[in-house]
Amino acid sequence: MLKKIGLIPRLIICIILGTLLGLWGWYPIMAVLATFNQLFGQLLNFVIPLIILSFIVVGIADIGKGAGKMLGGLVSYAYFLTVLAGFLGYFIIDIFQPLVVEIGSAVHVDDPIAPVEPLINLVVAPVMPVMTALVFAFIIGVFMVNLGENNSIEKGARQFQDIIKQTIAKVVIPWLPVHIAGIFARIAFQGQAAVVLGTFVRVFIVIILLHWAFIFVQYFIAGGLYKISPFKLLKPMLGSYLTALGTQSSAATMPVNLVNVKRMGVEERAANFAVPLGTTINLPGSMMSIVACAVAVMFMFDMPVSAAIVAPFMFAAALTMVAAPGVPGGAIMAAVGVLQLSLGFDETQIALMIALYIAQDSFGTAVNVTSDGAMTLYLNRIMGNKTLDYKG
């Protein structure tokens, strides 16, 4: 029955349930939740390097098989847009921090008022550190391209990726809300539930408003290229936006998006090339949300926050977005390793970060999909088309 409920409703239910259990504060229940969190946290730490290794290797191989300057241009554009979106996410939370996030509002694991010991302490060491997985993935991916089509290493890499995909889809994502319930139970047990939940709501609202502004600016620029109203261009894209809200998947929305992009009047070969590619490489909405949520969590835990600290994370996370697994919450799962490596997030911070992100994941996906339409408009103009055969 629970499996039929979407990820976001499950997340909300588990946050509420965890908060209520934490307010109740019955120690045996808290100990069981702490035990689950400890075991799930070990599983997550074990899987993260494997996610990075499997998805980046195949992602690099797929990009390397493309041909021509058009591919390189779109990849460069998507990376630049993704990094830019990350900086916007950083600056919006930094600027509005006094209104959105109370510094030091979250509790730390080592706070003396409520350490609940798990019943079992099981340590599962990851196969390799996160940085090792990143370097190893780039070495294999870059040089695997030179081995030619369908070589044995590539076949093995794709099969390994399928295994990790199933692990994420059938183990990590389904049990993630329970893990977050345990984190919120501990937060409520320590008396900080109201502050943390209030921060969640405010950050959510700020991110959604930033999403809409980001979409409008892209289409305002595109409209200027064709001397057409941005609202007119956005009209056929509304169907793509709403579909992405429902599916939480750029891949699942892609057929609908392809039809709607063509309704804007772009040349068919531009749409057929840019939209499927954008589904894989163009994730500015996800990046904007991840960075905004990460900065909010850093403020909550009174961590040092500056552009110099966050920038290395953004540049590295933008690379992981290219290979993010195509499941709800896949982008944040691909970025968890970089959060640990670049920003030093611990288990509690990762869990809060995931909860914040997944709560608005469908909106980030909708930005990704709509941005693919804007990217196609730019490509269509570069191909020499000065007007659109608008079909509205």
What is the Cα–Cα distance from 182 to 17, expressed in whole angstroms? 9
What is residue 255's predicted lDDT score, i.e. its pLDDT?
80
Nearest to 198 by CA among 288, 109, 290, 296: 296
In three-state form (DSSP H/G/I as H, E/B as E, the rest C), the secondary structure along the chain is CHHHCCHHHHHHHHHHHHHHHHHHCCHHHHHHHHHHHHHHHHHHHHHHHHHHHHHHHHHHHHHHCCCHHHHHHHHHHHHHHHHHHHHHHHHHHHHCHHHHCCCCCCCCCCCCCCCCCCCCCCCCCCCCCHHHHHHHHHHHHHHHHHHCCCCHHHHHHHHHHHHHHHHHHHHHHHHHHHHHHHHHHHHHHCCCHHHHHHHHHHHHHHHHHHHHHHHHHHHHHHHHHHCCCHHHHHHHHHHHHHHHHHHCCHHHHHHHHHHHHHHCCCCHHHHHHHHHHHHHHCCHHHHHHHHHHHHHHHHHCCCCCCHHHHHHHHHHHHHHHHCCCCCCCHHHHHHHHHHHHHHCCCHHHHHHHHHHHHHCHHHHHHHHHHHHHHHHHHHHHHCCCCCCCCCC
- For position 112, what pLDDT does the model report? 43
Predicted pLDDT of residue 172 = 83
Q: Which of 172, 225, 149 is nearest to 48 (CA)?
A: 172
For residue 343, count CB atoms less than 10 angstroms from its CB and return exposed for 0-12, middle for 13-18, buried for 19 or more.
Answer: buried
Q: From first to last of the 392 residues of the chain, give the pLDDT tens digit.
A: 455 677 678 878 888 898 899 888 888 888 898 899 888 888 888 888 888 788 778 767 766 655 456 667 787 888 899 999 999 999 999 999 888 887 777 655 444 444 677 777 778 888 888 778 878 887 887 788 777 777 888 888 889 988 988 888 788 878 888 888 888 888 788 777 777 788 888 988 999 999 999 999 999 999 999 999 999 999 999 999 988 887 777 777 888 888 899 899 888 888 888 887 787 778 899 999 999 999 999 998 889 999 999 999 999 888 877 666 555 667 888 788 888 888 989 888 888 888 888 878 889 889 999 999 999 999 888 888 888 888 86
Please answer whether residues 46 and 216 qualify as being in contact, where contact means their C-beta atoms are separated by less than 8 angstroms: no
Which residues fall within 8 angstroms of residue 159, CB to CB, at 6 or more apart? Answer: none
pLDDT recorded at residue 99? 87
pLDDT for the residue 230 = 93
Which domains are seen in the chain, by residue range?
A: 2-108+119-382 (1.10.3860)
Distances (CA, A) of 350 to 75, 247, 294, 338: 29, 24, 9, 11
Predicted local distance difference test score (pLDDT) of residue 67: 47
Look at residue 197 in the predicted model and tell me its pLDDT.
81
